[in-house]
Structure 1
């Protein structure tokens, strides 16, 4: 672990780490400030709240599905550091649009006709931003780090990402929405400055024409990756994991408001606990594997995640709500006798989730040639985003069917079983130096 932390002293890692951390922070500060304000201040029924939460999730994910093939081609055939600078420059413009939307919704000006459309437009644009940055943040690591540093670097990126998500999520629930509007623009400016410090990472391939036909290039990319059995199993395992994650994130705001009868600071706490757990799991699995890329703990990890979701369901079902017309404050929630068991279950879900997914991401970038890493991650993003959209549709469908968010948790837990099966198949299929 100390060896991994020493990477934070290296210019070949630190600027990328800071750039990714600030990007994740900004994504979550903006998205959660928007969703929490709309859920708690604009809508007043569980169905509308779940619809909006699912819509926001789907809009953010859609660019990953549409543009990942293009982003993978660019990342593998152009200097990754140059792309980072362009992407972080675009983030400044996107956040100016988002800040305008937050300002309008705070002032109560044209909330439904202008403010919310502007917010969703900025959210979609941030999805595009993350689509082009996503393959780079993993594919650049094997190019800048030594082979025995890649798993540690991946773990630090994941841990840093979720610590940033934690900070952005907590602030979104605590600060006024107008302060968040200023904060997202300032963060984008700092992120742009950090991105300019990332060392050059030129293409390792001979330059070829970019296929800008997004449908054809996406099909070609996925087909060219998924026929490799190990990659197929790893990508499908990660994709099912994120389908589970997307449903949970959609459920959190309406669950906290309508089942736990708590205010938006508690909704932020839920997302924060989830982020802390992922960070803990990311670091713990690196220590368990001693820097060795392996899927051997993945099946047990995702089974543990499913068990914690079931326990979370049980605690929610036993929860005693606040008196009619009242909401639990942050301190009231912490004083509730079931608060600690509920938080422990959620922390377990996230910790086991981090232990499951981090080695699989490292596997994606180390099982192929360095020159193909970005396209492999891009293919993974296409399938991941497709599964997350499916998860969003499932959440909407179950809500329309009248199934409460508490009961939906049991169906989410069941999805952990095929995740475990795929991870076990991946572990059995692995041999050679990159697998246990």
Structure 2
């Protein structure tokens, strides 16, 4: 596909805002999220404070409006996912934005005539509009951004969405509150935002359909089930979908309870409730943007455990920060901020949201990069269905716990503890997250890790990586350099090492013993190694056969030829780990490693250089060793 993934990546995520492939799309979705929330919040405030509707009490208004908006996600996501895979995404975006203008004109009439049933219909129709837009939104990015831009692009979209939600809520609340003419101003703003959004959508570049031959199944129930099964076919993707849905469950508990938390626990007025929303949105936006910086511009799922730890730590601290605040009269923002104890609450909320951003953005990027382009929008649709179900479950469960007598701080505590349990479960069933987290810590904290030539590591299909063996953490550093999972063929003795052995077993590394020592283990290792390549995955071997004892490159053994036998097309990529000799994990002291922890201090510089791939036909142990030796000599 000629439109898939341009070659020259943008120098930063902010540069994308100056490029036509990204900027019009970004502003279209920004206006989309902003207008949704401007309309919903203005309507909620109108029903709560300005109208007296017998059949819609103020305390139920928010829930009813929220449920009506989410309902189309459950009913129609499956259909919208198929449409996004079958049709030109740009045409679909323009249709959705034209539909939004029609809905907003109807809503404007509803506002001006204070017609609540018409406005409720518009809430449902805006839910339909967002359901149609959702799969297009996330399936569009991997078609126009390459792997190095995907985390940054997702971070920008996530940040933009939360800023738009925030601005929409603030604008909706302010406009509808204008004495006498609030409804007219809110109506005008909704229509204006829809028209501007449609004009911006006109500049989104054309994108061909990814699966034009798809036959649409209009039965939402059977198609929803089919989508969930399709997602379940790729376990890493499916578990990421569950992880994102859990984040929405977690976040919904906080967002839904901000007004009550502000009033009953923090003794603040409605402006304090808005302040909590502002702080939460800033946190999510900052966390989302931080992903690109921390991931070194790859899809770095090692950030997910870091995000999960932060979410739990600050949710639990929020309980302690907000318990036992003395009752006072309702405080305005100024008086609220003048109390030191309240700052701890705001910092907890901001950091909790920031870590939620770190948690979710890499998961979205993983789903986009690991899903077949032809099925991408349907997988995103499955994600939207799961998100909607989890958010509904979140409000039902939170309501039940509060009804059973839990205070709001206790509810936050319960969710923080539940998050730790869920995260631990996810990381044990998908060890890749945990392994990448360890790789992130080793490569960023213990060492200052620099990678060059990583564009030679294949992003798709089988590949054999061949590297010198200097230390016990070689595999972890190589893992940190690749956006894809790697299966390692490793000396069976390394599995006896405490902690590292457990990690390598968790990562399904293949143990190998010398043929003379254990012929059965030797043969089984080669069989499994060849199966990895046959499955189109990355395999990494250390052909020296063991960790160097003197820092010199040892002779390469012939196992590499045995693995490649019959694989004429698999690229062989030479790698060289530089500057690791002499560090804590290398065998410096009389052939033993891990003796003096701070021999070189924390954060010492190490490097990995990847060379140009070789065809199997030009590979021999000697030529490979010469390639690796040449890479070792390169300046790091």
Quote the residue 1:10 is aligned against: 19
Structure 1 residue 262 displacement after superposition: 2.5
The structure richer in helix per residue is 1
Structure 1 residue 183 displacement after superposition: 1.4
TM-score normalised by L of structure 1 = 0.89
Q: Which of the numbers 311, 317, 322 marks the counterpart of 1:316?
A: 322
Q: Does 1:245 align with 2:251?
A: yes
Q: Which of the numbers 40, 55, 59 marks the counterpart of 1:31?
A: 40
Query: 1: CA distance between counterparts of 2:278 and 2:254?
Result: 13
Query: 2: CA distance between counterparts of 1:404 and 1:40?
Result: 26
Quote the residue 1:196 is aligned against: 202
Structure 1 residue 78 displacement after superposition: 0.3
Structure 1 residue 355 displacement after superposition: 0.4
Query: 2: CA distance between counterparts of 1:17 and 1:201?
Result: 15
| 3-state DSSP of counterpart to 2:395 | helix
Structure 1 residue 264 displacement after superposition: 2.2
Q: Does 1:176 align with 2:176?
A: yes
Structure 1 residue 338 displacement after superposition: 2.8
Note if contact 1:262-1:329 (Cα within 8 Å) is conserved in structure 2: yes
Note if contact 2:231-2:382 (Cα within 8 Å) is conserved in structure 1: yes
Q: How does 1:138-287 map to 2 (within 5 A)?
A: 138-177=138-177, 178=182, 179-287=185-293
Contiguous gaps of at least 5 residues in structure 1: 106-113
Quote the residue 2:332 is aligned against: 329
Q: Does 1:304 align with 2:273?
A: no
Tell me: CA distance 1:402–1:319, structure 2 relative to 1, closer, same or farther (3 Å): same
Query: 1: CA distance between counterparts of 2:67 and 2:257?
Result: 13
Quote the residue 1:345 is aligned against: 348
Structure 1 residue 379 displacement after superposition: 1.0
Q: How does 1:70-81 map to 2 (within 5 A)?
A: 70-81=79-90
Note if contact 1:25-1:164 (Cα within 8 Å) is conserved in structure 2: yes
Q: Does 1:60 align with 2:69?
A: yes
Structure 1 residue 311 displacement after superposition: 1.9
| 3-state DSSP of counterpart to 2:205 | coil
Note if contact 1:68-1:378 (Cα within 8 Å) is conserved in structure 2: yes
Structure 1 residue 352 displacement after superposition: 0.4
Tell me: CA distance 1:422–1:37, structure 2 relative to 1, closer, same or farther (3 Å): farther
Quote the residue 1:369 is aligned against: 372
Note if contact 1:169-1:272 (Cα within 8 Å) is conserved in structure 2: no
Note if contact 2:306-2:358 (Cα within 8 Å) is conserved in structure 1: no
Structure 1 range deviating more: 343-352 or 311-320: 311-320
| 3-state DSSP of counterpart to 1:3 | coil
Quote the residue 2:409 is aligned against: 406
Query: 2: CA distance between counterparts of 1:98 and 1:416?
Result: 39
Q: Does 1:355 align with 2:364?
A: no
Quote the residue 1:128 is aligned against: 128
Structure 1 residue 215 displacement after superposition: 0.5
Tell me: CA distance 1:175–1:15, structure 2 relative to 1, closer, same or farther (3 Å): same
Note if contact 2:245-2:390 (Cα within 8 Å) is conserved in structure 1: yes
Note if contact 1:302-1:352 (Cα within 8 Å) is conserved in structure 2: yes
Residue correspondences, number: 420
The structure richer in strand per residue is 2
Tell me: CA distance 1:33–1:321, structure 2 relative to 1, closer, same or farther (3 Å): farther
Structure 1 residue 120 displacement after superposition: 3.0
Quote the residue 1:380 is aligned against: 383
Query: 2: CA distance between counterparts of 1:199 and 1:39?
Result: 42
Structure 1 residue 26 displacement after superposition: 1.1
Query: 2: CA distance between counterparts of 1:121 and 1:254?
Result: 27
Structure 1 residue 154 displacement after superposition: 1.2
Q: How does 1:280-295 map to 2 (within 5 A)?
A: 280-295=286-301
Structure 1 residue 20 displacement after superposition: 0.6
Tell me: CA distance 1:250–1:199, structure 2 relative to 1, closer, same or farther (3 Å): same
Structure 1 residue 124 displacement after superposition: 2.0
Structure 1 range deviating more: 192-201 or 258-267: 258-267
Query: 2: CA distance between counterparts of 1:426 and 1:363?
Result: 16
Structure 1 residue 302 displacement after superposition: 1.4
Query: 2: CA distance between counterparts of 1:41 and 1:333?
Result: 27
Structure 1 residue 239 displacement after superposition: 0.9
Structure 1 range deviating more: 118-127 or 360-369: 118-127
Structure 1 range deviating more: 28-37 or 10-19: 28-37
Tell me: CA distance 1:227–1:253, structure 2 relative to 1, closer, same or farther (3 Å): same
Structure 1 residue 101 displacement after superposition: 4.1
Query: 2: CA distance between counterparts of 1:41 and 1:256?
Result: 21
Deviation track 1:216-267 (CA, whole Å, cap 9, x = no partner) reads 1101111111132101210111111111112222111222233333332222
Quote the residue 1:111 is aligned against: none
Note if contact 1:309-1:413 (Cα within 8 Å) is conserved in structure 2: yes
Query: 2: CA distance between counterparts of 1:422 and 1:181?
Result: 47
